Chain A
Amino acid sequence: MAHFTKATSVKDWFNQRLAVEKVEKVMMSEYWIPKNINFLWAMGMVLVITFALLLVSGIFLLMYYQPNVNTAFDSVNYTIMREVDFGWLWRHVHGVAASVVFLIIYIHMFTGIYYGSYKKGREMIWISGMLLFVAFSAEAFSGYMLPWGQMSYWAGMVITNLFAGGSLHADGLVEWIRGDYVPAQAFLTRFFMLHVLLIPLAIMGLIGLHFAALRIPHVNNQDGEEVDFDAEAKKYLAGDKAGSKVMRFANDFMAKDMMVVGIYLVFFFYLVFFHYGFAMDPVNFDPADGLKTPAHIYPEWYFLWSYEILRPFSTDIGLMAFAFAQVIFVLLPFLDRSPNTVPASRRGLFQIWFWAMLVDMIVLTAMGKLPPAGIFSTIGLVAALTFIGLWIALPFITKMEKKA
C-alpha cells in the first residue's frame, strides 16, 4: 500500500489518489504549444467539437430510430422529424455535422501535408490520423444506411459488391458481409451495430492514440523549426511570456481555439437551419426499393474523389486503383524521402506537388458527382491517372530536394 497522509484540502485528497494537479499540468497548463502557428492549428479542436455534436445529436436520434427495414424510414422522417420535440434539430445537426466533419478533416490533413507535420517523429500522429479518417469513413457509410432510403439501399448494394473483387467473383464473401443475398434486415441491423457501438468505440480509442502520439513530439509550427520546449517553457514560467516562443495549451491556445470554434459554429449553425440540402440528398427521401435503381447514384461528396478513381477503368484495374488510393496516403511519411520539415513553400518541387494534389482531388471530386459521359469521363480519367502519377513521382521529387 502506497503512503497516504491525512488530506489538507479537497484538492489534496484528489491529488493523493488521482494526481489531478500533475495531470492538469501535463495535459493543459504546462503542455507547451509554439506561438508560431496559425488558425489552421485549431482544426483539431473544431473536429473534437464536431464529433461531440455528432455524439449528442446521435444519442437523441437513437432514442427514436428503429433499425427495421419496414419502420426505419418513417421512424426518421415521421417520428423524429414531425413528432419528437426538436427531433428535426438533432437530425439536421447530425446530417450537417456528418458532412462538414469531412471538410474539416480534409483541411486538417492538407495542413499536415503542407507543413510536413508527418515527418521526423510525428509519423504516428499521421498514421493514427489516417486510421481516424478510415474509421470516420466507415462511420459515415454505416450511418448513411440507417434511414433506409433509395440512396442508403443502393450505396449499400454497390459498396458491398466491391468486395466481390472483380474477376475473383467472391460472391460468397459479399453475401456473408450482407448477411443475406441483398441488403435486407440483417444488413441494416449489423450496420446499425457498427454505427452506434463498434466504430464510435474505435474512434474514441484512436482519438486517444492520436493525442498520445501528439503529446511527446509536440505540435509543429509554421516554419517547421525545432523548438527547445524545456528552455522556452522556463522563459515563460519565469515571467517572460512575450519573449518565450511557446504558450500554454490552457488557457492561451484554448482561447484562440475557442475563437476559431465560435466562428466555425456561426457557419455550422447557418447550414443546420438554412442551407442543409447538400448534407441530406433528396434521393434518400425516397424509401428504399430493391426493384428500382435511381437515375443518378453517387456517394456523399467526401467519397467522390475515391469513387472517381474507381470509375474510369475496367473492373479489376479500377478495384486495384481504388485500393491503391485508400492506402497510399498512409504511406506518405515513408514515400517522402526528403528530411526537410519545412512548409511546402520552401520545398521546391514539393510545393508544386502539393497544389497539384489538392487541385487534382477537387477535380476528381467534381467528376465523381457528374454522370460518367463525354468530356466529364475524359477529365475524370486524366485526373485519376494524375493522382496515381503524383504518388509514384513523390519519392523521386523528394529524393532530389535540396536540404532546407
Chain B
Amino acid sequence: MKNSSRRGFMGKAFGAVAGVGAIGSLYAMKKSWDPLPSVKAAGFTTLDMSAYAENELVTEKWRGKPIFVLKLTADMLKAMKSKKNDMDRLIKVDGSYYMVTIGLCTHLGCIPGYRPETEDFLCACHGGMYDASGDVTKAPPPRGLDIPPFKIDGTKLVLGEEGSEYKAMKENGITL
C-alpha cells in the first residue's frame, strides 16, 4: 500500500532527525564528563633542581603521584657510565645528573624505599629492587621505574610537559 510505505518513510525521517538530536546531546554529555580545566591546569609541577642534595631521595608530587628525585654523586655516575642503559635513564640539568621517576613500583604500585647505604631501591611489598638509575635489578617488577613527562627549563624541570629529551626516551623504549 502506497500510504503505509510513505508513512513509514516520514516516520523514519523523523526518527533520524530525533537521532541527530540524541547524538548532539550525547556529545554534550561526554564533554561534561571531561576533566575540568582546573584539574588539567594542576597537572604541571615545576621542580627547582638546584635545591637537591646528592644521594638524598626527595619525594615530590605530580598529578597525585609520588615522584622520586635523586641527585647522583660522581661515584654513582662512574658506576653507571659502564652500563649505557642506565645513563639513558638519567636527566642532565645544569651539569648535574638526576634520576627522576614515578615512585610507584611497576609490579603492583607500592612505593619502593630508597636505601642510601646500598644506593638502591627495595620494594617492601614483594621484594622487587631497582638501582639508582631506576632500572629494575630484581623481579617481580616487569620494567624499571617509569619516567614522567618532563621538560628542562634552565635549572628547572617542568613535569607534565613533554620536552625533546623525554620524547627521545620514549622512542628508545626507556620508559612507557
- The chain A residues found within 8 Å of chain B, CB to CB, are 56, 60, 63, 79, 83-87, 89-90, 251, 255, 258
Q: In the assembled complex, which residues on chain B have CB atoms less than 8 Å from the CB atom of A85? A: 28, 31-32, 34
Q: A251-B11, A258-B14 are in contact. Are A79 and B36 (CB under 8 A)?
A: yes
- In the complex, what's the smallest C-beta–C-beta distance from B35 to chain A, in angstroms? 10
Tell which of B25, B32, B38 touches A87, judged by Cβ atoms closer than 8 Å.
B32
In the complex, what's the smallest C-beta–C-beta distance from B172 to chain A, in angstroms?
Answer: 37
Q: Whole-angstrom distance between the alpha carbons of A258 and B13 in the complex? A: 13
Q: When the two chains form their complex, are residues B32 and A83 in contact, meaning their CB atoms are under 8 A apart?
A: no
The answer to whether B28 touches A83, judged by C-beta atoms less than 8 angstroms apart, is no
Q: Once the chains bind, are A90 and B37 in contact (CB under 8 Å)?
A: no
CB-defined contacts of B32 to chain A, threshold 8 Å: 60, 63, 84-87, 90
A60 to B32, CA, bound (A): 7
Which residue of chain B has its CB nearest to the CB of A79? B36
A188 to B37, CA, bound (A): 28
Partner of B38, one of A83, A90, A251, A258: A83
What are the residues of chain A within 8 A of B28 when measuring CB–CB? 85-86, 89
Name the A residues within 8 Å of B33 (CB-CB). 63
Residues of A within 8 A of B36 (CB): 79, 83-84
Q: Say yes or no: is B23 at the interface (Cβ < 8 Å to chain A).
A: no
Which residues of A have CB within 8 Å of B25?
56
Please give the distance in Å from A84's CB to the nearest CB on chain B.
Answer: 6
Q: With the chains together, A87 CA to B28 CA distance in Å?
A: 9
In the complex, what residue of chain B is closest to A53 when comparing beta carbons? B25
By CB atoms of chain B within 10 A, which of A63, A79, A85, A87 has the most? A85
Interface centre among A60, A83, A86, A90 (most CB of B within 10 A): A86
Does B51 reach chain A (CB closer than 8 Å)? no
Distance, CA A63 to CA B34, complexed state (A)? 11
**12 further interface pairs, Cβ-Cβ under 8 Å (given A60-B29, A86-B29):** A56-B25, A56-B29, A60-B32, A63-B33, A83-B36, A83-B37, A85-B32, A86-B32, A87-B32, A89-B28, A251-B11, A255-B11
Within the assembled complex, what's the spacing in Å between the Cα atoms of A63 and B28? 14
| Complex interface residues of chain B between 17 and 32 (CB less than 8 A to chain A) | 25, 28-29, 31-32
- Is the beta-carbon distance between B14 and A86 smaller than 8 angstroms? no
When chains A and B are docked, how far (Å) is the Cα of A63 from the Cα of B31?
A: 13
**Measured CA separation A155–B83 after assembly (Å):** 73
Nearest Cβ distance between residue A267 and chain B, in whole angstroms? 16
Q: Which residues of A contact B34 (CB under 8 A)?
A: 85
Please report the C-alpha to C-alpha distance between residue A89 and residue B36 in the assembled complex, in whole angstroms.
16
**Cα distance A56–B11 in the bound complex, in angstroms:** 25
- A255 contacts which chain B residues (CB < 8 A)? 11
Cα separation A328 to B34 with both chains bound (whole Å): 49
- 3 closest Cβ pairs, A-B complex: A85-B31, A86-B28, A83-B36
A84 to B34, CA, bound (A): 8
| Interface 0/1 of B1-25, CB less than 8 Å to A | 0000000000100100000000001
Expressed in whole angstroms, the minimum distance between the Cβ of B140 and any Cβ of chain A is 38
Contacts of A86 in B (CB 8 A): 28-29, 31-32
A-B contact pairs, 11 of them (CB 8 A): A56-B25, A60-B29, A63-B32, A63-B33, A83-B36, A85-B31, A85-B34, A86-B32, A89-B28, A251-B11, A255-B11
B2 to chain A, nearest CB (A): 15
Chain A residues near B38 (CB, 8 Å)?
83
A83–B33 CA distance with the chains assembled, in angstroms: 11
Point out the residues of chain A lying under 8 angstroms from B29, CB to CB. 56, 60, 86
A85's closest neighbor in chain B, by CB? B31
Give the complex CA separation of A60 and B31 in angstroms. 11
Closest B residue to A60 by beta carbon equals B32
Measured CB to CB, the closest approach of chain B to A104, in angstroms, equals 20
- Name which residue of chain B comes closest to A84, CB basis: B32
Give A255 to B36 CA distance when docked, in angstroms: 41
Q: Within the assembled complex, what's the spacing in Å between the Cα atoms of A128 and B97?
A: 76
A41 and B102 alpha carbons, distance in the complex (Å):
64
Give A258 to B29 CA distance when docked, in angstroms.
Answer: 24
Q: How far is the CA of A60 from the CA of B30 in the complex (A)?
A: 10
Q: CA separation between A255 and B18, bound complex, in Å?
A: 13
Given the complex of chains A and B, what is the CA–CA distance between A189 and B34 in angstroms? 26
Q: What residues of chain B lie closer than 8 Å to A79, measured between beta carbons?
A: 36
User: A56 to B22, alpha carbons, bound, how many Å?
Assistant: 12
Closest residue of A by beta carbon distance from B31: A85
Separation of A84 and B37 alpha carbons in the complex (Å): 8
Q: Which residue of A lies closest to B39 (CB)?
A: A83
